[in-house]
Amino acid sequence: MNKRIYLSLGLLSASLIAFQLSLMQLISAVQWNHFAYMVISIALLGFGASGTLLAFTRKWFERHAEVALYLLMTLTGVAMSGIILFSSTLFGKFDTYLIFADFLNVKYLFLSYFSFFIPFFLGALAIGLIYTQYVSRIGTMYFADLLGSGLGGIFLLGLLWVFYPVQLPAVVAILPIVAGIFIIPKQWFKKLIIPSLLLLFLPVYLIIFPSQLPVSEFKGVSGALNMPESEIYMERKSPYGHIQVIEAPSFRNAPGLSLSFTGDIPVGDIIYSNGDWFGPLTNRAQNDEAHFLDYTTHNLAYIISEPTNVLVLDGRTGLHADHALWSGAEKVTIVEENKKALNLLNNELAFKVDSLFSDAKLRSVGLHSRSFLLADSSHYDLIVLPPIESFGGSSGVNALEEQYLLTVDAMNDTWNHLSDKGMIEVTSWMDYPVRNPLKILATLVETLEQNKCMEIEQHLVSIRSWGTITFVLKKTPFSSDEVSRIRSFCEQMYFDLVLLLGITSSERSAFNHLEDSSFFSYVDQIVSPERDAFYKNYDFNIRPATDNKPYFSQFLKLDRLSKLRNLFGQEAVPFLEIGYFITLLTFIQIALIAFILIIFPLFFTKWKGKGKVYTLLYFSGIGIGFMFVEIIFIQQFILYFGNPVTAASAVLSGLLISSGMGSLMSSRLKNNSRTILIILSLVIFFILFYAFILTPVLRVSISLPFLVKILFSILLISPVAFFMGMPFPIGLKHLDGHNNSLIPWAWGINGCFSVISTVLATIIAVEAGFLWVMLLASVAYGLALVASIFR
Amino acid sequence: MRYLYILLAIFIFPWSIHAQNYEQEREKMVTKQILKRGVRDVRTLDAMRKVERHLFVPPRYMRMAYDDSPLSIGYGQTISQPYIVAYMTEIIEPKPSDKVLEIGTGSGYQAAVLAEIIDKVYTIEIVSELAKTASDRLQNLGYDNVKVISGDGYNGFEEEAPFDAIVVTAASEHIPPSLIKQLKEGGKMIIPVGSPFLVQTLMLIEKKDGKISTSSLMPVKFVPFTRGQNQ
């Protein structure tokens, strides 16, 4: 039992982290990623709740520890399998997209909270019980826990290549059942081994015959499938998302098309990733016909000049790359981080796009666009940024998605890749209230100023159709010929000028009238040197995003909420920025539940006051600090590795395994105040050090080969992670020597604050930036340090 | 015999109260949601008073039929907020002699409102299940002047073109060239544009002297999470 418990603990921890990640993948695919975030965050409070239950029932659990551990692990596996069966009924009845519109859905929301909570609660109860039972060996136990968690993340990453999202939870559910088998008490072995082995059939059955979870009718993929004769004809699994290719004979993709276009829009197939729009598969324009993008504001750059070397960032299915080639470019580079999709377009789907990706003039790169910019050294005549807020994207929903391509720092990097007469093109949908066009304009204007181009109108033009607005920034001033070509293009296409040298006010609304013409005044204010005052006065946050706060689509100013409510009505406010709103809502719910689970039970305990304050401050401090650091590391490494999946796996495994080693080492250290003070001081020192040096170090080393980067990142993370793994086992050991009835409570606090801090880190990053999250992480460890001094 | 009357009364009474309530709710909807927001066209207001909106929503939403919001009708579509229906109707200035094309039948509610004013309404729905339900519903309610076509509205309805007005109730990321072609000189088209996850804008497209112009009219702000201001 003694040695097997480590293995069981490791397996259980691996299963819990893999289960969490698989649920994220699954719920995002069938419902909505913010819903997944909210439900799973609340479900993770199962860790906190397990601590509270243990605190009240510790004696009973200790008396029946052996059998209880077996049962809890087995039940965790059963619950993981059962939840998927239950979800198929649950998601058939409600839709998260309707939660704000139809309150009938709220009861199902609570039902889903509760159902997803159960496996985490049971699993955490088992871990908490192990910690209370084996506190004398806590260093090794915590090592097994962290090692299991680290490997669990990597394990799931591998599973994503083999299984569809709907099969993942069942695969993961095998682990805790096996963990339970390892620790069947000797006296019960003969009776329990057969039922335990039989139980494995449940997840295996669900892998072979997965429950069909209904996809929300509001997901893009459902809309496409509602069209006549539409069908999915190809599906592929990968960590980049579940790819579905749909034949949709009624689907035509021509965003923002000019009203003067009279031709036919090609009908094509569509790629969806996790149920969301990825891009169209259209045949390439033939020489004798026009490319429909010629009839959109996107064409502005090709009206200004004839770029020969074009870079298309976040190029998806290659529409804009095709347009560049059609417009005469001799060399086109397309960058797209979804390698699986690129691979399909290069091979199995090549015939759908007339072998665009095999064109000798086209080079495709599978990398995050910003990482490409940091590592590449070429210069381009035109750099095409991805359209902002096309039908495939959405401002409100993606409010908290880091968009490293739309920060001022990114724009400066883009600028550095321009040839002498190079241009940057970016197109946005006109939204209401106006946010996206203003923020991208502000970003471009600040980029120009930072590159010593103070006469903005000489370097920046903008035109507007009925629905889209395009900006072209040019390194050299526009010539009078170029200006007149732009004017005649607008005349032909029914487009209006927004920014142009010598523009008249009537040219701004010649064809497309805006109900609220103050938009033009906003544009002028941003172009003027007084833009800072405008940033402050405008009701939305349109100050350019930076690498420190890379949330381009985050516009909500919390202090303007009541004004917005008056302007747009109570019901409309959540829809102005649903992503951030959901995060705030999640935080409020978690904080409330955490209070109920941690603080409130204190009033009913018979524990003496001694050690309570220490336990609360110490374990909440290290819980918050650890998660803040983990989240910021993941954010920083997304840019470094060029995709979030690799970043999350590298950081999680590096951080957790190194922390595990630290925990192991802690068992050899003397458990006294001096030791903990030194360890916490080292952690604080490292965090502060990383807060300032991590970004420049990563920037310098970004062009290293991939494997070297992996090694380098693990080396970079290890020192701080090693010391971050020590405070938890040392703290528990301290409690064991003084007031061991507080151990379950400490476990609960750590669990709750780890969840709270995940959401809190996002809110702080949005409001103040990454640097502040790191600084506050050191403050949190400082809190633990103070608690240790006065313990 | 007396008992029979009592029994009858028991069955009829709740129903009549409900029927009366719906009428009251409709009047309230017109006064509080539509008139208050500035819709003044008498024909439109009368039509909104007349069309029984609760018969166009799924049974589970009947009691919410006259609320100031859109409601889900399945297939990722919604029945528009009453005010939006009234606004879109008023803006095309419908006259009885007009010929109007609607793209995106949905529940059939917008078509029914138009049919109260106009002699001939053509409406096209791409989701065949919705087209069938709306067609049956409109027929049962006696709207013989509405022709529901199950198919792709992208190409309009060439046989009956040109139209005095085209009402597009499904948000589009481009305005189909064929619809502009099928619009009469002096005709009006109204269409919601923008991203489905954003607040959309209602756009008026006018064809005058061979030229086309657009005006963004108002944000459609109560359209969360739908592919469009559909009905």
> A336-369 pLDDT, tens per residue?
989 999 999 999 999 999 899 999 999 999 988 9
Whether residues A40 and A116 fall in one domain? yes
3-state secondary structure of A636: helix
Residue of B nearest to A391 (CA): B195
Chain B CB contacts of A494 under 8 Å are 212-214
Q: Quick one: how far is CA A499 from the chain centroid?
A: 35
Tokens of A3: 């040695």
Question: Which residues span the domain enclosing B56?
Answer: 2-220
Q: What is the average pLDDT across A212-235? A: 85
* Alpha carbons A751 and A47: distance in angstroms, whole number: 5
Residue of B nearest to A436 (CA): B198
For residue B227, is it within any domain? no
Mean pLDDT value across chain A: 89
* Alpha carbons A168 and A84: distance in angstroms, whole number: 10
What pLDDT does A649 receive? Answer: 77
| pLDDT of A463 above 90 | yes
Tokens of A605: 């305990």
Phi, psi of B220, rounded to the nearest 5 degrees: -100, 95
For residue A26, is it within any domain? yes
What pLDDT does A673 receive? Answer: 84
What pLDDT does A394 receive? Answer: 40
Q: Does B60 touch chain A (CB under 8 A)?
A: yes
Whether residues A550 and A582 fall in one domain? no
Residue of B nearest to A464 (CA): B214
What pLDDT does B197 receive? Answer: 42
Encode pLDDT of A671-723 as tens digits. Answer: 788 899 999 999 999 999 999 999 889 988 888 888 898 889 989 999 999 99
Looking at the complex, report in whole angstroms how far the Cα of residue B94 sits from the nearest Cα belonging to chain A: 22
For residue B178, is it within any domain? yes
* Alpha carbons A475 and A443: distance in angstroms, whole number: 15
Whether residues A602 and A517 fall in one domain? no
Whether residues A394 and A487 fall in one domain? yes
Interface-testing mutation among B60, B197, B226, with chain A (most A C-beta atoms within 10 A): B197
Q: What is the average pLDDT across A763-788? A: 94
What pLDDT does A287 receive? Answer: 62
Whether residues A381 and A528 fall in one domain? yes
What pLDDT does A519 receive? Answer: 94
Chain A CB contacts of B196 under 8 Å are 391, 394
Report the CATH number at residue B41.
3.40.50.150
Interface-testing mutation among B77, B198, B199, B202, with chain A (most A C-beta atoms within 10 A): B198
Report the CATH number at residue A787.
1.20.1250.20
What pLDDT does A580 receive? Answer: 82
**Residue keyed to tokens 């198929």:** A88
Number of domains composing chain B: 1
Looking at the complex, report in whole angstroms how far the Cα of residue B4 sits from the nearest Cα belonging to chain A: 39
Do the chains contact at B216 and A515, CB–CB below 8 Å? yes
Higher pLDDT, B221 or A536: A536
For residue A489, is it within any domain? yes
Chain B CB contacts of A263 under 8 Å are 177
Interface of B with A in 131-150 (CB under 8 A): none
Phi, psi of A426, rounded to the nearest 5 degrees: -145, 135
Do the chains contact at B214 and A513, CB–CB below 8 Å? yes
Higher pLDDT, A239 or B206: B206
Strands A331-335 and A269-273: unpaired
3-state secondary structure of A474: strand
Residue of B nearest to A390 (CA): B195
Interface-testing mutation among A93, A102, A108, A226, with chain B (most B C-beta atoms within 10 A): A226
Task: Please confirm, yes or no, whether B69 is among the known catalytic residues.
Answer: no
Question: Which residues span the domain enclosing A65?
Answer: 1-214
> What is the number of other CB atoms lying within 10 angstroms of the CB of residue A490?
24
| pLDDT of A96 above 80 | no
Whether residues A538 and A625 fall in one domain? no
**Domain boundary, last residue among A214, A232, A267:** A214
Residue of A nearest to B170 (CA): A223
Encode pLDDT of A377-419 as tens digits. Answer: 999 999 999 998 643 334 344 556 778 899 999 999 999 999 9
Looking at the complex, report in whole angstroms how far the Cα of residue A297 sits from the nearest Cα belonging to chain B: 12
Whether residues A425 and A547 fall in one domain? yes
Residue of A nearest to B222 (CA): A572
Interface-testing mutation among B84, B174, B179, B189, with chain A (most A C-beta atoms within 10 A): B174
Confidence band of A101 (pLDDT split at 50, 70, 90): low
Confidence band of A572 (pLDDT split at 50, 70, 90): low
Most confident of A160-164, A176-180, A573-577, B201-205: A176-180
For residue A246, is it within any domain? no
What's the full length of chain B, in residues? Answer: 231
- CA dist A470 → A428, A438, A460, A518 (Å): 6, 12, 10, 18
Q: Does B151 touch chain A (CB under 8 A)?
A: yes
What pLDDT does B228 receive? Answer: 31
Interface of B with A in 171-200 (CB under 8 A): 173-177, 180-181, 193-200
What pLDDT does A400 receive? Answer: 64
What pLDDT does B193 receive? Answer: 74
Residue of A nearest to B192 (CA): A467
Do the chains contact at B216 and A512, CB–CB below 8 Å? yes
Residue ranges, chain B, pLDDT below 50: 1, 4, 7-8, 10-17, 196-198, 221-231
Looking at the complex, report in whole angstroms how far the Cα of residue B79 sits from the nearest Cα belonging to chain A: 12
Looking at the complex, report in whole angstroms how far the Cα of residue A430 sits from the nearest Cα belonging to chain B: 7
For residue B225, is it within any domain? no
Q: Does B12 touch chain A (CB under 8 A)?
A: no
* Alpha carbons A96 and A299: distance in angstroms, whole number: 38
For residue A412, is it within any domain? yes
Q: Does B221 touch chain A (CB under 8 A)?
A: yes
For residue A181, is it within any domain? yes
For residue B155, is it within any domain? yes
Which residues fall within 8 angstroms of residue B41, CB to CB, at 6 or more apart? B89, B90, B93
Catalytic member of B80, B107, B135, B172: B80
Confidence band of A91 (pLDDT split at 50, 70, 90): low
For residue A231, is it within any domain? no
Do the chains contact at B195 and A390, CB–CB below 8 Å? yes
Which of A100, A255, A432 minimises the CB distance to B174?
A255
For residue B230, is it within any domain? no
Which of B154, B173, B177 minimises the CB distance to A391?
B173
For residue A199, is it within any domain? yes
Whether residues A604 and A690 fall in one domain? yes
Residue of B nearest to A430 (CA): B194
Whether residues A582 and A518 fall in one domain? no
Chain A CB contacts of B170 under 8 Å are none
Whether residues A617 and A737 fall in one domain? yes
Do the chains contact at B175 and A255, CB–CB below 8 Å? no
Looking at the complex, report in whole angstroms how far the Cα of residue A455 sits from the nearest Cα belonging to chain B: 31
What pLDDT does A216 receive? Answer: 82
Do the chains contact at B214 and A395, CB–CB below 8 Å? no
For residue B231, is it within any domain? no
What pLDDT does A609 receive? Answer: 58
Q: What is the average pLDDT across A226-249? A: 88
The string over B103-136, giving b where at least 16 C-beta atoms fall within 10 Å of a residue's C-beta and e elsewhere, is: bbbbbbbbbbbbbbbbebbbbbbbbeebbebbbe
Number of domains composing chain A: 3
Phi/psi region, residue A291 (left: phi>0; alpha: psi -120 to 50; beta: rest), is beta
Confidence band of A83 (pLDDT split at 50, 70, 90): confident
% residues pLDDT > 70 (chain A): 94
Whether residues A529 and A598 fall in one domain? no
**Residue keyed to tokens 């819709």:** B39
Report the CATH number at residue A190.
1.20.1250
Q: What is the average pLDDT across A77-84? A: 90
Q: What is the average pLDDT across A28-33? A: 77
Confidence band of A35 (pLDDT split at 50, 70, 90): confident
Whether residues A171 and A32 fall in one domain? yes
Q: Does B76 touch chain A (CB under 8 A)?
A: yes
Which of A100, A432, A512 minimises the CB distance to B214?
A512
Which of B69, B128, B213 minimises the CB distance to A228?
B128
**Burial degree of A786 (CB within 10 A; 0-12, 13-18, 19+):** middle
**Domain boundary, last residue among A214, A233, A265:** A214
First to last CA, chain B: 48
Interface-testing mutation among A282, A432, A435, A494, with chain B (most B C-beta atoms within 10 A): A432
For residue B158, is it within any domain? yes
Which residues fall within 8 angstroms of residue A537, CB to CB, at 6 or more apart? none
Higher pLDDT, A534 or A111: A534
Chain B CB contacts of A252 under 8 Å are 154, 174, 176
Do the chains contact at B70 and A217, CB–CB below 8 Å? no
For residue B160, is it within any domain? yes
Report the CATH number at residue A553.
3.40.50.150
Segment holding A515, helix H or strand E: none
Most confident of A95-99, A726-730, B197-201: A726-730
Do the chains contact at A431 and B203, CB–CB below 8 Å? no
Count how many pairs of residues, chain A against chain B, have C-beta atoms within 8 Å. 151
Encode pLDDT of B165-201 as tens digits. Answer: 999 987 777 888 899 999 999 999 998 875 544 456 7
Residue among A264, A500, A493 nearest B214 (CA)? A493
